[in-house]
Amino acid sequence: MERIKMQNPIAELDGDEMTRVIWHMIKEELILPFVELNTEYYDLSLPNREKTRDAVTVEAADAIKRLKIGVKCATITPNLQRKEEYGLSELWRSPNATIRAALDGTVFRAPILISKVKPVVSCWKRPITIARHAYGDLYRAVEYRVQQPGKAELVFTDEDGRELSRQTVYHFRGLGVVQAMHNRDDSILSFARCCFAYALDVKQDVWFSAKDTISKDYDQTFKLLFQKVFDEEYRSAFEQAGLHYRYALIDDVAAKVIRSSGGIIWACKNYDGDVMSDLVAAAAGSLPMMTSVLVSPDGCFEYEAAHGTVTDHFYRYRRGEKVSTNPLATIAAWSGALKKRGELDGNAALMQFAELLGRAGIDVFEQGYLSEDLAALCDPEELVEMPDNPRIMALIRKRLEELLAAA
Domains belonging to the chain, first-starting first, are 1-106+298-407 (3.40.718.10), 118-140+184-284 (3.40.718.10), 142-180 (no CATH)
- Classify each residue of 93-119 as buried b or exposed e, where b means 16 or more C-beta atoms within 10 Å of its C-beta: ebbbbbbbbbbbbbbbbbbbbbebbeb
Q: 47 by DSSP, 3-state: which? A: helix
* Angstrom distance (rounded) from CA 313 to CA 145: 35
For 63-96, write each residue's pLDDT tens digit.
999 999 999 999 999 999 999 999 999 999 999 9
For 220-259, write each residue's pLDDT tens digit.
999 999 999 999 999 999 999 999 999 999 999 999 998 8
* Angstrom distance (rounded) from CA 221 to CA 182: 12
Confidence (pLDDT) at 36: 98
For 296-335, write each residue's pLDDT tens digit.
888 899 999 988 999 999 999 999 999 999 999 999 999 9
pLDDT of 101 > 80? The answer is yes
pLDDT of 185 > 90? The answer is yes
Closest among 374, 360, 383, 406 to 26, alpha carbons compared: 360
Q: Return the H-helix or E-strand segment holding 236.
A: helix 235-241
CB 252, CB 118: distance < 8 Å: no
For 111-169, write each residue's pLDDT tens digit.
888 888 887 787 888 889 999 998 889 988 999 999 999 999 999 999 999 999 999 99
- Classify each residue of 218-255 as buried b or exposed e, where b means 16 or more C-beta atoms within 10 Å of its C-beta: bbebbbebbeebbeeebeeebeeeebebebebbeebee
Arithmetic mean of pLDDT over the chain: 94
| pTM score | 0.85
Residues paired with residue 46 on neighbouring β-strands, in sequence order: none
pLDDT of 285 > 80? The answer is no
* Angstrom distance (rounded) from CA 42 to CA 75: 12
Closest among 267, 118, 76, 115 to 190, alpha carbons compared: 267
Closest among 299, 307, 327 to 109, alpha carbons compared: 307
